Each structure stands twice: as C-alpha cells, then as structure tokens.
C-alpha cells in the first residue's frame, strides 16, 4: 500500500499557482516580476549557438539581440554584429553598405516569438560608435530602425520578414543628447501598430546614468536593465548596491510610472571584469526584490552563452523567481481568505490508496 497525502491546503494551492504560472507565461507580460531577459549575440563564452537554441525551453522571456553598434555606417546604414552567427565580414551585406543580411535568422526569431517570447534589438554596446547630433537626426534614425527592424518596410531588412518586438538602448559612450527624441518617434510609429512594441535601456548602476539618464527622465521606457556589474554598486558590493535608488526613481522620476527595473547580472565569472555572484546570492537579491519593490521586473543576464556554460545559470534564476512569485500569490490569496473556502474544513487531507 502506498499512501499519498497532501497535508496542507497551501501545498495544493502552490501546485495550482505553478500551473497558473506555466499558462500565464505563454505570452510575454511586462507587468510580471519574474521575467528573465538575456542578451544574445556577442558570444562571450566562445561557444554561442544559434538563436533558436536559447528559445527551446520556457526559461528566457526576452531575448535581446546584441548589437547594432554603429548608427551611421557605410552608405548611411547602421551596422550589426552577432559574432559567430552573422556579421558584415562573414556574411553578405546589402549593396553599398556594411549592413549584414541575416535573413536566415527570420525563422528563428519567429519561432521564439511563437513561444511567447519577445525578441528585441540592442543599440550600442561597450564599443559602439553611437550618437545623435540633433532632434532631426534622432527622429530620422528612429524612422530607419522602425522600417528596417520593426513594423515598417524597407528593401534593407536584415531579418527579412521577421518583425522584432522593440529596441533596447545600451548607450555607453558618445553624447547623451537627443535619445528622448528617438524614443518618442519609435513610440509614435508604434501607437497605431497591431502589436505592442517595447523600449528598454541598460544603464549602469551609478545613478543617474551618464549616457542615458536624461532620456530615461524625458521619454517613456518599459523597463531598465540596470547593470549591477563592472561598477562599484555591483552585486558583489552589498553595502553599495542601490536597487532602492532605482526603485525610487521608477516611482517618482521616470516618465513612465509603471516602468519595471531589472537586476542586471553577469551570467558567469568570465562574463564581466567584476561583479559576478554565485547563483544562491543572485537568488537572494532577486527574491528580495520581488518581495520588496513594486517596480521589480526580473533579472537580466549577460549573456546567453555564458549562462548556458555556467550550469544553466539562466534556468536556475528563472526557477527561483517563478517559485517565489507563486508563493507570494498563494500567500496573497490566503490573506484575503480565498483559500479557506475552497476545501471543506472537515476534509483537510486527501488520501489515495493504491
């Protein structure tokens, strides 16, 4: 005889919450606090796989393609580089430009999207040749990004028929001016679109960020992936860790009062010069963020190849956030009395004999 006993209602509802979560994530939901965003494209670990590999399971919610690193290249076109997967040197380019034709990636992008993930394009990077010299230049650049990567049309679309879900600004050099005009023009294009487009940024943790801080105050962003590595306020410096500062800004200084703030983390010791923490430490930071800050949106990792090499660091942190979010949902329902009426008091145990 095998006796299976569910001793408490909480366990039953924890299971139900987990089932609910698995259903809910079929479509990306920016309002959640357990989202995982991961950069892909720069082959940090030296063993980067095709994009579709990282969309094979439910771990990653937002894949960020890195990078479009030159704004105004040959022929007036931007330049993209995805290391060993697609670049201007190893792949064909559009005539008269240095813009790589990565149209073979279209089916992979669309496959990721079909699984409820969003795929966005990051502009900038640590070695980017970036900058917008005027409002007009910023608006024209936004028009180009919209037409070549998002919901517009152009004869030079690097991903062919695939329509990305938005843009990310990882601006780490150049002038900080006019990025709000860029964002506002993207928003203008997206306002009449048939699907939602997202605009995010990846500021450094020192507040305010020197490169994108002004734009964050002036234009509406959906999320910020704050880089808590390679900085004095990194995850390895708990006394200087300043998520609370970013939360204060999200609630009182951001142009979008509903903006989500993510913990940006290095996915392995090799992914950053400093700031990497083991998975247990990151889990503590993340679950505390979920429990403490209304603005908390999840975790961002740099990058996919490092996370996979590091014993699926991405899956570990996603699982921790998912479980904590489910626990919080159960506790919230209990506090409102929703759980008490579900099972009769005289039947607290479920026994099955086999």
Catalytic residue numbers, as ranges: 172
Helix (H, G, I), strand (E, B) or coil at 289: helix
Q: CA 330: distance to chain centroid? A: 26
Instruction: Retrieve residue 179's tokens.
Output: 């990025």
Rounded-to-integer distance, Cα 336 and Cα 56, Å: 38
Strands (E), 179-241: 198-201, 223-227
Q: Which pair of structure tokens corresponds to residue 235?
A: 């995850």
Phi, psi of 67 (to 5 degrees): -140, 160
CA angle 70, 170, 232 (to 5 degrees): 130
Contact indicator for 261, 250 with CB cutoff of 8 Å: yes
323/51 Cα distance (integer angstroms): 27
Query: Which pair of tokens denotes residue 8?
Result: 């408490």
Question: What distance in Å separates the CA atoms of residue 19 and residue 36, rounded to the nearest whole number?
Answer: 18
Query: What angle, 0 to 180 degrees and rounded to 10, lies between the N-to-C axes of helices 279-292 and 313-335?
Result: 30
From the list 353, 354, 344, the residue with the least C-alpha distance to 9 is 344
Q: What is the DSSP letter of 93?
A: B
H or E, element range at 298: strand 296-302
How many separate helices (H) and strands (E) can be counted in the chain?
Answer: 9, 11
Sign of CA dihedral 162, 168, 170, 174: positive
């Amino acid at each position: 005889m095998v006796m299976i006993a569910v001793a408490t209602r909480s366990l039953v509802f924890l299971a139900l919450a987990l089932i609910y979560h698995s259903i809910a994530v079929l479509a990306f939901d920016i309002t959640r606090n357990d989202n995982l965003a991961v950069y892909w494209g720069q082959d940090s670990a030296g063993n980067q796989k095709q994009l579709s590999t990282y969309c094979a399971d439910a771990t990653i919610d937002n894949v960020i393609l890195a990078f479009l690193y030159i704004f105004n290249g040959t022929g007036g076109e931007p330049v993209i580089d995805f290391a060993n997967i697609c670049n201007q040197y190893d792949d064909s380019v559009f005539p008269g430009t240095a813009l790589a034709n990565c149209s073979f990636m279209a089916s992979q992008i669309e496959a990721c999207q079909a699984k409820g993930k969003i795929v966005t394009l990051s502009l900038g990077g640590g070695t980017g040749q970036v900058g917008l010299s005027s409002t007009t230049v910023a608006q024209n650049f936004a028009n180009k990004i919209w037409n070549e990567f998002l919901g517009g049309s152009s004869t030079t679309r690097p991903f062919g028929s695939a329509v990305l879900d938005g843009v990310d600004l990882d601006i780490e050099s150049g002038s900080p001016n006019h990025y709000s005009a860029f964002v506002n023009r993207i928003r203008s294009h997206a306002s009449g679109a048939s699907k939602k487009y997202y605009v995010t940024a990846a500021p450094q943790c020192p507040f305010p960020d020197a490169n994108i801080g002004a734009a964050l105050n002036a234009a509406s962003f959906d999320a910020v992936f704050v880089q808590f590595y390679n900085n004095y306020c990194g995850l390895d410096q708990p006394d200087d860790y300043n998520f609370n500062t970013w939360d204060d800004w999200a609630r009182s200084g951001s142009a979008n009062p509903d903006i989500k703030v993510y913990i940006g983390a290095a996915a392995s010791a090799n992914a950053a010069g400093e700031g990497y923490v083991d998975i247990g430490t990151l889990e503590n930071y993340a679950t505390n963020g979920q429990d403490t800050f209304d603005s908390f949106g999840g975790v961002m990792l740099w990058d996919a190849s490092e996370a996979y090499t590091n014993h699926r660091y991405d899956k570990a942190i996603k699982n921790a956030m998912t479980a904590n979010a489910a626990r919080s949902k159960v506790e919230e329902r209990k506090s409102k009395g929703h759980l008490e009426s579900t099972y009769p008091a005289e039947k607290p145990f479920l026994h099955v004999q086999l």
